[in-house]
Amino acid sequence: MKKAIHYINQFFAGIGGEEKADHKPEIREGLVGPAMALNEVLDAQVTHTVICGDNFMGSNTDEAVEMILGFLEDKEFDIFIAGPAFQAGRYGIACGTIAKAVKEKFGVPVLTSMHIENPGVEMFKKDMPIFKGGKSAAKLKDDVKAMADYANKILNGEKTLPAAEEGFYDRGIRAQVWLESGKTGAQRGVEMLIKKLAGEEFISELPIPEKDLVAIAPPIKDLSKSKIALITTGGIVPVANPDRIQSASATRWGRYDISKMDRLKAGEYKTIHAGFDPAAADADPNVVMPVDAMKEYLKEGKIGALHDYFYSTVGTGTTQAEAARMGKEIVVKLKEDNVDAVIMTST
Amino acid sequence: MVKEIERAGIPIVQMCNLIPVAMTVGTNKIVPTISIPYPLGDPQTPKEVQWKLRYHRVGIALDALTADIDEQTVFKVKI
Amino acid sequence: MIMIVLKLTKIITITKEIKIERRGHMKLELGKFNVKDVLFGEKTFFKDGVLTINKDEAISFIKEDEHITDVDIVIAKPGENTRIVPVKEAVEPRIRPDGRAVFPGVTGELAMAGEGRVHALKGCSVLGVGMHWGSFGDGLIDMGGEGAKYTLYSQLINICIVADTDEEKERHEQQKKNTAIRMASHKFAEYLGETVKELEPEEIDIYELDPVTKRDEKVDKLPSVVLVMQPQSQMEELGYNDLVYGWDMNKYVPSFMNPNEVLDGALISGSFMPSSSKWSTYDFQNFPTIRELYKEHGKSLNFLGVIMSNLNVSLEQKIRSSIFVAQMAKSLGADGAIVTEEGYGNPDADYILCLAALEDVGVKTVGISNECTGRDGASQPLVTLDVKANALVSTGNVSEIIKLPPADKVIGELESLARDGLSGGWPFDEFLGSSVKEDGSIIMENNGMFCGDMIAGWSTKTMKEF
């Protein structure tokens, strides 16, 4: 029989309301509050209930998470379920926080449920399935059942349906599906246009996601005292491609020593990036990775130093997740080598 | 990748041809290049011309590193 | 006596056809012959649904191009446990009874396509397959088993030209023009089409649009629609890109075309686009989105025609094409447009630019394309985005990983998937290993499935949130 652990707040544990929101995290063997309802519909035994006051989690998040992860260390469990949190903002955020931490530490599937207006939805929908929950505890049974139905599929290794059909918020994971309706791409396209022209409602199959901006890093005050590094996603590598960087969907990057040269030489460096005509880059790699221009600026004293290495990978088809990981790894190296700023060329 | 580097507080300029892509992704400092297969040097032009273009645009990128901006900016180039 | 009568009839028929041409009325008669089986035999002929091919004669014909150094013809049928790779091109066998070239500017002289009679062998396709060497834009087809659903070609009887060529210069290049094998496919498709040149078709499909300004009042009142097509044209060197009437589409600015021209051989496929995003020549000849618009023409919409654009690489070229597209749509008075791109990645910029440019001039748009959402399904699906593109059809994710068991028979060379830089395969990966395992099973990206995302509009495949 598989095992589950349920997380609830002080109110649902029957400890108290607002006045008990500072309740320290605890773990109890057996079922408390909604865990009983969950246990009835889940294909797993809910062995423990974790309880924490919403304020305690909100004001001492790190401590609360550490404590709870500590409680779970010696426990066996196959799935971790939090809430449902309905519209309670602090509770929703608490559910998302702890579920994410549990997923990251123990690698078990996690899920929760909350109403669409709960701020926890936007914050955590990318990290776990968050089921579309009701406004108030009146919906407890329904919300618990929705979570359990999906959890059971996961526990039994069954295929799951698209988010909209299962009942949780889009989490930004898309996958191919063959429509049962049998409507072809051509039919769907023409139908969608006819509806749009008639002013009727239609659903786009590719919703445009929101832009994700990053805070602008503080500008360099004095270039002549700064160390600049070069990076490219144009796949410029030594001709033997020693790091075996892929021509598309790259998961690897490399760094190559340019400290003893004035420019990249054709025949020593080339591009391995698929998806564009490589002729120009192979004939003169400096058109993609402008080592020669940087060396000139170094000589002139416009920049204080040029980093000994340039970093390279391939941009086409590479997932954001892989690009972010590679970016993080490269950042570590840049910081180790005291690089002040970067110029990146893309193709 | 640009965002990870910037997130770590290291100023970065992206030199690319497809400005709309960089804008969509959220890059803050952008310097245009002339094409995809040859961002900084058109092989149909003499080496001198290519070098001038490359030197100029890389220079703009270096200066962009020092620029104090408050929104996504595409820096203008002369050649 | 009889000879003279026949000759007279021919003259009368030709005169009639010229008369029709002069009226400027684009009416295409597609005569269909359903192919139920394809066999090798003593003669090359078509009868009662069976296409018989004299293999030796066919091979001689193909070898008339000296660049083809070695060739075999292999037939692959639906349901067989057969894997075909590297596939470079697919062409539907056709012929023009009046002697015009099926692919004007490619297999023969230039002449306007899109009207008159053309005969087609339905239910089958010529495939151009490399005997050994693959390239970035080549793809894979499984005729049976789990892999069959990833391409259209598992449903057709494929007459595979499996060839080796003397194209030494590109032997080990990742990007190949594949000229010899691709041209062989078009010529051979016409060669096979000869078998039904004089025969009466089982069925005739009529594709007919009145001139734009001379339509019925009833049709005029319906919302008017253009189809904007963006065939791939990224390579700056000639020989890789899609061709329109034999002209390289990199050196091209958008123009207004009649949909019949697309259905009737005016465009052929190129050799660059990652395979699942590709429009093969077969796709052009049968373009489902065009046929769907024809279906609705006169009922729920007024199909004005096709604005044929392209997909060049630099931002300036993309903007220029979008200007031409928007202006033509505006001047034609189109109420709506469907935009569809033969590609992902860089071409998404053209796709979104055109969609936005059209919306900006008041044309309501729908887009049809695939996505590159990453192996985890969580990456940004198109490289550029615009909120104006609020009506999109998605036909698949190039990045999805597909694992398939070994096939009993391989046409071509299986190792090419891992070795030759096909867009959906790789030689080495720390976690996944090589795309081709020792036992013949494969692991690849959907990217490598031959025309797998069926952007031309064939399939029920779409993308959903999970």
Residue B79 lies in a domain: no
The DSSP 8-state label assigned to residue C436 in this structure reads B
pLDDT < 70 stretches in chain A: 317
Q: Are C181 and C281 in contact (CB under 8 A)?
A: no
- Least CB–CB distance from C300: residue in A163, A184, A194: A194
Domain count, chain B: 1
Give how far C348 is from chain B: nearest CA, Å.
9
Residue with tokens 């894997």: C83
Q: Report how many Cβ contacts below 8 Å link chain A to chain C.
A: 218
Q: Indicate the helix (H) or strand (E) that contains C385.
A: none
Q: Domain spans of chain C?
A: 27-448
Would you put residue A278 in left (φ > 0), alpha (ψ -120 to 50) or beta?
alpha
Structural domains present in chain A: 2-166 (3.40.50.2300), 223-345 (no CATH)
Cβ-contact C241, C313 below 8 angstroms = no
Residue C82, pLDDT above cutoff 70: yes
Q: What residues of chain C, 376 to 395, have a C-beta less than 8 Å from chain B?
A: 380, 383-385
Contact B21 C313 (CB under 8 A): no
d(CA C403, CA C419): 17
pLDDT at C24: 59
Question: Is B18's CB within 8 Å of C346's CB?
Answer: yes
Q: What is the pLDDT of residue C288?
A: 98
What range defines the domain where residue B64 resides? 2-74
Cβ proximity of B52 and B34 under 8 Å: no
Q: Per-residue pLDDT tens for A186-214?
A: 999 999 999 999 999 999 999 997 777 88
Q: Would the pLDDT of C21 be above 50?
A: no
Q: Which whole number is the average pLDDT over C195-205? A: 97
On the question of pLDDT at C10 being above 60, the answer is: no
pLDDT at A347: 85
- Asked if residue B28 belongs to a domain, the reply is yes
Pick the residue of B2, B3, B5, B50 with the most A CBs within 10 A to test the interface with A by mutation: B5
Tens of pLDDT, residue by residue over A302-330, are: 999 999 999 999 987 677 778 888 999 99
Sign of CA dihedral A314, A320, A322, A325: positive
A with B: how many residue pairs have Cβ under 8 Å apart?
168
pLDDT category at B20 given cuts 50, 70, 90 is confident
Residues C44-58: tens digit of each pLDDT? 999 999 999 999 999
Q: Which of the residues C233, C237, C240, C315 would you substitute to probe the B interface, choosing the one with the greatest number of B C-beta atoms within 10 Å? A: C315
Structural tokens at position B75? 């820096």
**Res. C144 pLDDT band, cuts 50 70 90:** very high
Q: What is the ipTM of this complex?
A: 0.95
Residue C14 pLDDT > 60 = no
C-alpha count within 13 angstroms, C-beta hemisphere, residue C266: 21
| Angstroms from A320 CA to nearest CA on chain B | 8
Residue C426, CB half-sphere, CA atoms under 13 Å: how many? 24
Both tokens of C339, joined, read 């935009």
> For residue C3, is pLDDT > 60?
no
State what percent of residues in chain C have pLDDT above 90. Answer: 90
- pLDDT of C207 > 70? The answer is yes
Mean pLDDT (chain C) is 94
Contact C313 B24 (CB under 8 A): no
**B51 within domain boundaries:** yes
Contact C288 A163 (CB under 8 A): no
The strand pairing partners of A9, in sequence order, are A52
Residue C97 CA to residue C101 CA, distance in Å, equals 10
Report the distance separating Cα A83 and Cα A73, nearest Å: 21
